[in-house]
Structure 1
Amino acid sequence: MMKRRLYLCLLSVIFFTFNLQAQNFKKPLSSLSYDELKDAFFKNEGKIEIQKKYVKAFLGKAKKENNTPKIARGYYYYSLLYDDNRKIVYFDSIINNVVLPSGEKNFPFVAYLEKGYFLSKKYRYNDAINNYLKVEKLAFSKNINYYYKAKFAIGILKSEKMGEVKESLPLFWECYAFYKSQKNNPDLTFDYEASIFALADTYKSIKKTDSASYYNRLGYSETKRSKNEYLHNIFILNEGANQVLVNNFKATLDSVTKALPYIIKNKDYNNTLAAYYYRAKAYQGLGVKIKAVENYVKVDSLYRLNLVISPEFSDGYKFLIDYYNENGDKENRLKYLTTYLEIQNQFQKEYKELSVKLKNDYDLPNLVKDKESLIKSLKTDEKKYFWLIIFLIGFALCLVSISIYQSKQKKIYKLNFEKIINQTSKPEILNNVVMTQTQKKDINLSNSLIKDINDKLLNFEKNKLYKNPNISIQYLSNEFATNTKYLSLVINEYKNKSFINYINDLRVDNIIEELKQNKNLRKYTIAALAEEAGFNTAESFSNAFYKRTEIKPSFFVKELNGI
């Protein structure tokens, strides 16, 4: 989450340095130069209607003169005025409608990059990745700076959105090595310091505390030299978070106390959330539960305000759930339990889709590219890289096999889903059991007893008494005024299933019909659906649902919502 904030800042300083100057506003807008219009546009930041006039004049002037770099810049200025889908429209205007000279260094790379970041903010991760990959492909030979900016963005998606922290480390190392070689370039100072932070934060996440401290100290020193007060305090906060891992909780509290005022001053809600989280962890480690609860509640408040949280910071909810359980506060326990489950469900959905996309569109192509490079080097030193090539090929084939398997499995799931949708519900027990000689099964029970049990089972099904989570064969035989053996024999012989499977199938069939009819029910969590169906746990519900339908309930609900 801290890296995401850094990336936002990184993008905002990509290619503009603004030295605002006083303007002669009495001059007609059409007579102003590009620089004058640009300066007036940024001088009136926050005054949208006034800014629109200047950017309109800027773009109109550029179109009249057919100045394509300025046209692209005009569309970019328009994109800065909005935080909705209009922003994408202006990015696409640059990408699709402006033919730029081959020597242009910033466009269309910046449009793809900022579009990717905006899409990531809107949780459209697959679309974001596509734009980052385009930058990486186009910029390698034309503007190497953007190549590494795209690589940095992909690293952030891996670490922040997928939890693949170790996998992101090589990407951040590449970026750090490049920016370190450019550290004397003032235009890349922030990029260099951001890459240091990415390494420090990644080493912290994988619990390599000594390495994390090394890069935190390096970042602390570099930001002090560049006088970057904001990032300077982010390194202080990150080292405080690192100290939690070595149980140096007092050092954590000291770091958070120093950094938090500057972070709040910069309206950095994500890192404010992180500061409260680590302060809570420190108090938790010191055994001061009340203070830990206070700070975890602040984390929750910031999450509710922005609806953004990373997996790293979500485990505070487990502490709150346990705390309120111990204190008998059912209302607060339910509140935080519900929020925690919602967050976990969202993580599961986002990461699954993103993982497949990155593996198919980024990891695998790069493995293939690495393999081709190794084959070339093999001509001069064949034995040295032989086993590495075999490993890469085998790994790539494994990924392809997994992808094919997942695709086939999804097709099977869809067929099973269609089968469920198209079939009509049938009662488990026939309305009448006619005991002819050919139909009668040799279970040593009288026709009248079989009919009596069958009639009671029909009533049992009709009134949906199977939804009682505590139902058992002993309980039901008592209700039917018979014994467990007779009841079990009738169900086993006439339904070809055990008592448990009979009850589970009734519950699954019923919840399927209710989900078809009730759209509100589809908003329930799997745990809530399990309870509604009559199961004691989400796991037993999922297993029974899969056994009955050969698909998971989560897949069924997702497909049902798509109809």
Structure 2
Amino acid sequence: MREVIVLLIFLSFLQGYSFQEDKYVTSDSLSVELKKNRDYILFQEDLDKVYDFIEEKIRENPDQTESYYQLYLERGFKENNYNIQSFAYYYLGFIQYQKGNYVLAIKYGKLLSDLAENQKDKEYKISAYTLIGNSYFKIRYYNEALKEYLKVLEITKSNNLKDKEFSTLLNINNIRTRIHQYKEALESYEETIISLDKKENKEIANYYGNYLSAVLGAGVCNYLLKDYHNALNYYNKGLKLSEDYKLIPFQINFNNTIGETYIAINEYDNALVYLNKAKKLIKRENQVFDKALFTTNFHLATLFFNKGEHSKALEYLTENFDSINSEEKEKQVEKITEMYDLAQRSAENTGNTEKQIYFANAYKRIIDSRHQDDVNTKDQMYEYDLITLEEKNQDLSSLNSKYIIGLVFAAILIVLLLVHQISKQRTNKVLFEKLQSEKIEVKPPKPNPIIKKDFITNEKVKLLFEKLQEIEKTNFFLEKDCNLYNTAKLIDTNTTYLSKTMNEYKQQSFNEYINELRINFFLKEMKMDSKFRSYTIKAIAGELGYKSVNTFAAAFKKQTGLTHSFYMKQISKDVHNTKK
């Protein structure tokens, strides 16, 4: 009932609270240049001239791009012009996407999709859904990204928009690859290649880009499935086609992937030929900040590390680090953690303790930074969803019958909450009884007999898990500084190997593994130790190695399906009844 009362208070608060997004750019926020040009953008009758004017000003001063499109959006609102609003929303979202502000990009994408759906405009629907999907993909919300891509796919198929259909299929396959559905992705890539080979599809827009992307994706899936022979077949086919079409970026990608594959099968001389070709092509392009160069150097460093030439490996990695000279650039490099890990191991093998410590700290900093970015993104998504909810409630409050609607809505919610509460109590009771009937113990891992990575052998995996089981007896997982790096050190391995082995043989991340050990320890102590049951929740979280109660609560809920407070109350009741 307390939850119902809180909800009613919250609803009454929303009824009296007005949230309205600022639709217009205030004069105070404009630069001197924009103030001069504002009237022209807002009142020039010929829209083609306005568009050309904005394009010219953006070329002169790219930093003002967003402000000019905000002004253009203002005109769209003043004139209630759908086309202007849609155009401005798309480009404002695209700007945020390029800047890495993916939550804002999603916001603009949804505003555009709402407009396009009202107007039944399929072109802007496709643009909106694709922008939203790409943004979700960047923040690793893969399920949400897939929903958007499937909307695009439905429109493109029903309207025979072949070029966009193939591009969307490639996006969907990219998601499949990221969530390790390699076989499913490979089948789809192969079907896409067969479709693109048909005569009627060879005239579509961006044909070569779609075709080469599909070939590259098929090669990557074969590589990840350890079918290196077929991976090389696809990569070589793609390289030849990219050379025929004179598409330099694809030539660089295929030379890199061929080199990577030859490293995997220990043919280092062949790998060196292709990686050097990739590097020459990159230098010919002469880009200031070229991500492909970092990939090439990373592969070269891996090659020389595997050959035992650790100083040479460090040279290539140092070349990368000299170019990646800011945290903003670090975030744009996909394999930056692997680079620092390899650099730390190379420094260790050369006996350079100072560099070893530096690279180890850099690796930890990146891991912490990415974790914080994830937390910030989730917070922003929560705030955005809350604002959206408030806007919808504000729209409802403008209706004359808002009070009656609010009462009816509240009454329905109360009934639903009561039903939900009863159902939840039953479910919780079942879950609790199941937990109590189970014997709490950490079962030894069962290594998967299928080898998933070339550098992993069954014997190595068995030895690693034996070491893990040994240190589990010491309750190492209860330490606050228990992390991937420190655990890898405890069992004489490196973070990359430990993480990949956990993912592929235990089918869980390192953090999931530690949480499982901690929660099992908690369940056991709650059953057996009366002193432990007397601790505050904050003290218990600290005893388990968690830095906050919220982190412990989330881990417990994920593993058991129950809240920690419900479980602890039930345990206390059971103990009390047993004593009676």
Give the TM-score normalised by the residue count of structure 1: 0.53
Q: 2:272 aligns with which of 238, 247, 253?
A: 253
The offset of 1:94, in angstroms, is: 0.6
Match of 1:289 in 2: 310
Q: 1:156 aligns with which of 169, 174, 186?
A: 174
Q: Given the alignment of the two structures, is residue 548 of structure 1 paired with residue 506 of structure 2, yes or no?
A: no
List alignment gaps of at least 5 residues for structure 1.
Answer: 1-24, 352-406, 417-499, 516-520
Q: Judge which range, 262-271 or 272-281, deviates more.
A: 262-271
Match of 1:239, as an amino acid? I
Match of 2:407 in 1: none
Which deviations, in whole Å up to 9, do the C-alpha atoms of 1:258-296 show, x marking residues without a partner?
Answer: 323544634565422211111113323444331123224
The offset of 1:550, in angstroms, is: 3.1
Q: Judge which range, 264-273 or 112-121, deviates more.
A: 264-273
Match of 2:61 in 1: 47
Which deviations, in whole Å up to 9, do the C-alpha atoms of 1:180-220 show, x marking residues without a partner?
Answer: 44232244432222222222333333343343333333333
Match of 2:183 in 1: 166
Distance 2:225 2:365 in 1: 26
Identify if the C-alpha distance between structure 1 residues 287 and 412 changes in structure 2 by more than 3 Å, giving closer, same or farther: same
User: Does the residue aligned with 1:277 lie in a helix, a strand or coil?
Assistant: helix
Identify if the C-alpha distance between structure 1 residues 141 and 116 changes in structure 2 by more than 3 Å, giving closer, same or farther: same
Distance 2:317 2:75 in 1: 54
Q: Judge which range, 226-235 or 542-551, deviates more.
A: 542-551
Q: Given the alignment of the two structures, is residue 78 of structure 1 paired with residue 96 of structure 2, yes or no?
A: no
Identify if the C-alpha distance between structure 1 residues 227 and 62 changes in structure 2 by more than 3 Å, giving closer, same or farther: farther
Match of 1:129 in 2: 146
8 A contact 2:153–2:168 mirrored in 1: yes
Identify if the C-alpha distance between structure 1 residues 344 and 233 changes in structure 2 by more than 3 Å, giving closer, same or farther: same
8 A contact 1:68–1:99 mirrored in 2: no
8 A contact 2:40–2:50 mirrored in 1: no
Identify if the C-alpha distance between structure 1 residues 544 and 112 changes in structure 2 by more than 3 Å, giving closer, same or farther: closer
Distance 1:189 1:274 in 2: 23
Match of 1:87 in 2: 105
Match of 2:537 in 1: none
Output aligned runs, 1:3-152, within 5 Å.
28-29=40-41, 30-31=43-44, 33-43=46-56, 44-45=58-59, 47-48=61-62, 50-52=64-66, 55=69, 58-59=72-73, 68-82=82-96, 83=99, 84=101, 85-99=103-117, 101-102=119-120, 104-142=121-159, 143-152=161-170
Which deviations, in whole Å up to 9, do the C-alpha atoms of 1:81-115 show, x marking residues without a partner?
Answer: 3332433332121112444544x442212212112
User: Does the residue aligned with 1:108 lie in a helix, a strand or coil?
Assistant: helix
Match of 1:218 in 2: 237
8 A contact 1:116–1:128 mirrored in 2: yes
Identify if the C-alpha distance between structure 1 residues 225 and 94 changes in structure 2 by more than 3 Å, giving closer, same or farther: same
Distance 1:271 1:293 in 2: 18
Match of 2:483 in 1: 525
Q: Given the alignment of the two structures, is residue 306 of structure 1 paired with residue 330 of structure 2, yes or no?
A: yes
The offset of 1:345, in angstroms, is: 9.2
Q: 1:176 aligns with which of 193, 198, 201?
A: 193
8 A contact 2:76–2:82 mirrored in 1: yes
Give the TM-score normalised by the residue count of structure 2: 0.52
8 A contact 1:40–1:54 mirrored in 2: no
8 A contact 1:317–1:337 mirrored in 2: yes
User: Does the residue aligned with 1:106 lie in a helix, a strand or coil?
Assistant: helix
Which deviations, in whole Å up to 9, do the C-alpha atoms of 1:511-560 show, x marking residues without a partner?
Answer: 6xxx9xxxxx5x7626759999xxxx999987874553138999966863
Which deviations, in whole Å up to 9, do the C-alpha atoms of 1:309-341 show, x marking residues without a partner?
Answer: 657x86666654544444444444444456667
Match of 1:174, as an amino acid? E
Q: 2:301 aligns with which of 253, 271, 280?
A: 280
User: Does the residue aligned with 2:222 lie in a helix, a strand or coil?
Assistant: helix
8 A contact 1:34–1:58 mirrored in 2: no
Output aligned runs, 1:79-478, within 5 Å.
79-82=93-96, 83=99, 84=101, 85-99=103-117, 101-102=119-120, 104-142=121-159, 143-159=161-177, 161-181=178-198, 182-260=201-279, 262-263=281-282, 265-266=286-287, 269-298=290-319, 302=324, 305-307=329-331, 320-337=343-360
Root-mean-square deviation (Å): 5.1
Percent of matched pairs sharing the same residue? 15
8 A contact 1:38–1:55 mirrored in 2: no
The offset of 1:76, in angstroms, is: 0.9
User: Does the residue aligned with 2:124 lie in a helix, a strand or coil?
Assistant: coil
User: Does the residue aligned with 1:80 lie in a helix, a strand or coil?
Assistant: helix
8 A contact 2:314–2:343 mirrored in 1: yes
8 A contact 1:71–1:98 mirrored in 2: no
The offset of 1:39, in angstroms, is: 4.4
Distance 2:230 2:429 in 1: 42
Distance 1:287 1:100 in 2: 63
8 A contact 1:129–1:154 mirrored in 2: yes
Output aligned runs, 1:491-510, within 5 Å.
none
Which deviations, in whole Å up to 9, do the C-alpha atoms of 1:33-89 show, x marking residues without a partner?
Answer: 555444444452472465456535654665677553453222112223333243333
Identify if the C-alpha distance between structure 1 residues 73 and 254 changes in structure 2 by more than 3 Å, giving closer, same or farther: same
User: Does the residue aligned with 1:227 lie in a helix, a strand or coil?
Assistant: coil
Match of 2:61, as an amino acid? K
Say which one has the larger Rg. Answer: 1
Identify if the C-alpha distance between structure 1 residues 216 and 38 changes in structure 2 by more than 3 Å, giving closer, same or farther: farther
